[in-house]
Structure 1
Amino acid sequence: MEAKLSGNTVQETPVAEQKPAKKNNNPFKYVSTKEKIIYGVIGLIAFSTFAMLIWILSYIFMKGIGHVNIAGLMPAIITTIYMVLMGLVIAVPVGMGTSIYLSEYAKQSKFVKSLRFAIECLAAVPSILFGLFGMMFFVTQLKMGYSILAGGLTVALMILPTVVKTTEEALKTVPLSYREGSLALGASKFATIMKVVLPSAVPGILTGIVFSTGRIIGETAAIYLTAGMVFRVPSNVMESGRTLSVHLYMLAKEGISLEEAYGTAIVLLLVVLTLNLLTYVIGRKMKHGK
């Protein structure tokens, strides 16, 4: 409102109220046509991938949901657990020690460069080659025979590069200020690594361990060539056994038990999904300090 003096009276004239500018909620208003096409193609690819995953899972569940027999699969489940535990017990300490050395102690040298190159090469080696090496060295040369021990050592070598790389990347994500603050308070470098750096990198390390565990559970060729395919509960690590993935392969290979193969695939999927879900929950709680 504005006041105007007219004679002895004051007249008020209304002033048009200014409306606030409308907020633009369209994120693509200032995006070029070429970028819109790129975004559309990326979105279509993402949707197609997700739809394909849902279709595959639905197909497997529809085919095998009526043929899941946990009791009948117990020997394969127990053998799989043995294989996972043995592989992780060997690979995780060695891999973490190597990654700590590379991240915290090692300086740029020919040895360090050669070590990193070897790790990169091992990470790209197909699992069938690890299986052939394990069969020739552990099974034949060391006379372990087809056993849980030979299979566990083989899968430990197979996942070792993954553990080293993921652990090193997790250590690199820890801010340098954490290390400097701990050292400034008088802590030694070893104590800083063990009590400051490693706890801060646990979520990333845990992710690498879960990825390695999933690879062991889903591995077929390397275990088939080293641990054998005897369908029983092994009483010790020197006996042969059949994991879930090998059991699935044998059922599909026979061609007369496809329904049981789909049932085994469902159990295998549920084990992997449960493992990933538990790791996500644990990592989230540790990250937020709850």
Structure 2
Amino acid sequence: MADRLFSTFVFASAALVVSLMLWVLADVVIEGTAHFSWHFLFAEPADAGRAGGIGSILVSTLWILLIALLVALPLGLGVAIWLAEFTGKPSRFAPFPARNTGMTLDILAGVPSIVYGLFGNAFFSIYLGLGFSILSGGLTLACMILPVFIRTCESGLRAVNDDWRRGALALGMTQTAAIWHILLPAARPAIIAGLVLGIGRATAETAALIFTSGYVDRMPGSLLDSGRALAVHIYDLSMNVTGGDGAAYASALVLVVLIIVLNTLAQSLVDSWFKRRLAA
């Protein structure tokens, strides 16, 4: 009886979550399709976003996301390797820097995005003199992605059986070669999961970008120009622009499709890269 009740609870919870997700997606697809067109995808906004399209906003969003990923992925993977392979197993007797780093990452992963936005504004926009720019927004998003990405990759590396490490040592491989050719491919699912989580959080972020990349909806001429991200545009249309609901729904539909495409592309690129590493 207890097993049946528990199974029923689990399936009911899963069904509820999936139903809510499908409800939201259906609402976005139905309302967004009614206002979507190819002209909307490539034209620049007009009349405060009520008319025109999201061409310049889409370009700004992709630039911000590209900067965030280029900064966060190599740095995050390097820190994850250091924590998992060079600091030993986590315990109260582990080296203080390792314990301190892990605890700090756990705290940073739960910090509200508005706090990252204020930090990005104070450090990147004001202290470094980058102002309200795409570069400031991308660097701020990189700070947001790092804690989750590092902890996810670290968990994947720690989950690899130690027999793989001992086998590599027995074959005379250096630790660097073992990490590069054996451990990273073995931890591929965790790395992909961290990448997907990072892309999802960065693409849909609003609060942090309001204080860093800004509100300007024109086509950016450089990385130091201000640029409005797609999530910020949706927020502005929904909250501040009368009659902007149709454009907001169409923009939300584009955002959902963009996240799906980017996640699929990221998984394909990571899989192909690891396959080349294994072949080498």
TM-score by structure 1 length? Answer: 0.83
Deviations 1:109-155 (A, max 9, x none): 12211111111111110110000111112112222110011111111
Match of 1:93 in 2: 74
Asked if the contact 1:170/1:205 (under 8 Å) is kept, the reply is yes
In 2: Cα distance, 1:45 partner to 1:194 partner: 40
- Matched AA of 2:251: T
In 1: Cα distance, 2:271 partner to 2:173 partner: 28
* Residues 47, 185 of structure 1: alpha-carbon distance in 2 compared, 3 angstrom cutoff: same
Correspondence 1:42 to 2:10: yes
Correspondence 1:112 to 2:98: yes
Q: Superposed, which structure 2 residues align to 1:225-264 within 5 Å?
A: 225-253=211-239, 254-264=241-251
In 1: Cα distance, 2:236 partner to 2:193 partner: 30
Please say which of residues 167-176 and 263-272 is displaced more in the overlay.
167-176
- In the TM superposition, residue 284 of structure 1 has moved relative to its aligned partner by 7.1
In 1: Cα distance, 2:17 partner to 2:237 partner: 28
Asked if the contact 2:199/2:263 (under 8 Å) is kept, the reply is no
* Secondary structure, counterpart of 1:269 in structure 2: helix
* Residues 280, 153 of structure 1: alpha-carbon distance in 2 compared, 3 angstrom cutoff: closer
Asked if the contact 2:80/2:151 (under 8 Å) is kept, the reply is yes
* Residues 82, 282 of structure 1: alpha-carbon distance in 2 compared, 3 angstrom cutoff: closer
Asked if the contact 2:113/2:144 (under 8 Å) is kept, the reply is yes
* Residues 201, 41 of structure 1: alpha-carbon distance in 2 compared, 3 angstrom cutoff: closer
Asked if the contact 1:103/1:172 (under 8 Å) is kept, the reply is yes
Deviations 1:239-265 (A, max 9, x none): 100111011111112132100000000
Asked if the contact 1:207/1:279 (under 8 Å) is kept, the reply is no
- In the TM superposition, residue 84 of structure 1 has moved relative to its aligned partner by 1.0
* Residues 139, 282 of structure 1: alpha-carbon distance in 2 compared, 3 angstrom cutoff: closer
- In the TM superposition, residue 283 of structure 1 has moved relative to its aligned partner by 6.5
In 1: Cα distance, 2:79 partner to 2:10 partner: 38
- Matched AA of 1:93: P
Match 2:62 to one of 76, 81, 103: 81
* Secondary structure, counterpart of 1:226 in structure 2: coil
- In the TM superposition, residue 274 of structure 1 has moved relative to its aligned partner by 2.5
TM-score by structure 2 length? Answer: 0.85
Match of 1:265 in 2: 252
Deviations 1:82-108 (A, max 9, x none): 111111111111111111111111141
Please say which of residues 142-151 and 44-53 is displaced more in the overlay.
44-53
Please say which of residues 42-51 and 70-79 is displaced more in the overlay.
42-51
Q: How many residues align?
A: 257
Asked if the contact 1:203/1:283 (under 8 Å) is kept, the reply is no
- Matched AA of 1:231: D
Match of 1:179 in 2: 165
Match of 1:10 in 2: none
Correspondence 1:162 to 2:162: no
* Secondary structure, counterpart of 2:41 in structure 1: coil
Match of 1:19 in 2: none
Asked if the contact 2:192/2:267 (under 8 Å) is kept, the reply is no
Correspondence 1:61 to 2:48: no
- Matched AA of 2:85: E
Please say which of residues 263-272 and 173-182 is displaced more in the overlay.
173-182
Asked if the contact 2:60/2:229 (under 8 Å) is kept, the reply is yes
- In the TM superposition, residue 280 of structure 1 has moved relative to its aligned partner by 5.3
- Matched AA of 1:48: L
Match of 2:91 in 1: none
Instruction: Give 1 or 2: higher helix fraction.
Output: 2
Match 1:189 to one of 171, 175, 183: 175
Match of 1:221 in 2: 207
- In the TM superposition, residue 38 of structure 1 has moved relative to its aligned partner by 3.3
- Identity, in percent, stands at 35
In 2: Cα distance, 1:61 partner to 1:284 partner: 30
Match 1:151 to one of 137, 145, 155: 137
Over the residues paired in the alignment, what is the CA RMSD in angstroms? Answer: 2.0
- In the TM superposition, residue 42 of structure 1 has moved relative to its aligned partner by 2.8
